[in-house]
């Protein structure tokens, strides 16, 4: 039944009340542009679709649509390559500052792609997206600037794939920051 729902209408109705919208690119394509999803799936030739996505043609327009529909911050999980992010303008940053009690001025009108970190070992992707989002939200609530929230999110995802289960690879932010600050290599 969920596959038959009018997801574009549902999203359009919900996003004006959504501060953070954090889907995967596959989920968002299926909800907002199913035909394009199937074209990209065909283009991938059986590989992970994130290997053939164009940020400018495939991912960025999805984020722009979500912001135009009213989301405050859109973070699109793009698998192993990383995260695309886009935030609304000054009003969103001011609202965050007021609600969180710390300066969120760097969140206004931000956009970009945060590449993932290279994991030491690749054991399992199970839970990597969920732990990435959990780290992003935790870092935001803890008062980290946007850039560091993105780094901690992608570092958490990379740590998660280094183990077979979801939790045993997770590290505290202090440990992740040490590894990041020592020059942890990013995916190309």
CA angle 4, 51, 75 (to 5 degrees): 60
Give residue-wise pLDDT tens across range 111-137. 999 999 999 998 999 999 999 999 999
The span from the CA of 154 to the CA of 137, in Å, is 12
Q: Tell me, what's the pLDDT at 109? A: 97
Q: Tell me, what's the pLDDT at 164? A: 92
Q: Tell me, what's the pLDDT at 133? A: 97
Of the candidates 132, 28, 144, the residue with the CA atom closest to the CA atom of residue 81 = 132
- Please identify every stretch of the chain with a pLDDT value under 50, giving residue numbers as ranges: none
Task: List beta partners, residue 24.
Answer: 77
Q: Tell me, what's the pLDDT at 4? A: 86
Query: Radius of gyration over alpha carbons of the chain, in Å?
Result: 17
Q: Tell me, what's the pLDDT at 188? A: 87
Find all residues with CB under 8 Å of 74, minimum gap 6, and list them.
21, 22, 62, 63, 66, 67, 85, 86, 87
- Order across the sheet with 111-115: list the strands: 20-21, 73-77, 82-87, 111-115
Q: Tell me, what's the pLDDT at 166? A: 86
Q: Tell me, what's the pLDDT at 1? A: 84
The span from the CA of 83 to the CA of 73, in Å, is 12
């Amino acid at each position: 039944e969920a596959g038959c729902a009018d997801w574009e209408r549902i999203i359009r109705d919900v996003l004006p009340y959504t501060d953070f919208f954090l889907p995967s690119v596959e989920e968002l394509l299926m909800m907002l542009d199913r035909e394009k999803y199937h074209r990209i799936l065909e283009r991938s030739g059986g590989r992970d679709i994130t290997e053939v996505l164009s940020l400018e043609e495939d991912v960025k327009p999805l984020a722009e649509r979500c912001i135009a529909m009213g989301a405050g911050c859109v973070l699109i999980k793009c698998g192993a390559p990383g995260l695309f992010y886009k935030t609304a303008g000054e009003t969103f940053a001011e609202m965050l500052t007021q609600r969180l009690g710390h300066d969120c001025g760097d969140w206004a009108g931000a956009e970009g792609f945060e590449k993932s970190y290279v994991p030491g070992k690749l054991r399992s992707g199970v839970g990597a997206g969920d732990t990435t989002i959990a780290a992003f939200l935790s870092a935001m609530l803890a008062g980290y600037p946007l850039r560091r929230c993105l780094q901690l999110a992608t570092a958490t995802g990379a740590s998660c794939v280094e183990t077979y289960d979801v939790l045993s690879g997770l590290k505290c932010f202090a440990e992740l920051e040490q590894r990041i600050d020592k020059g942890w290599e990013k995916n190309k």
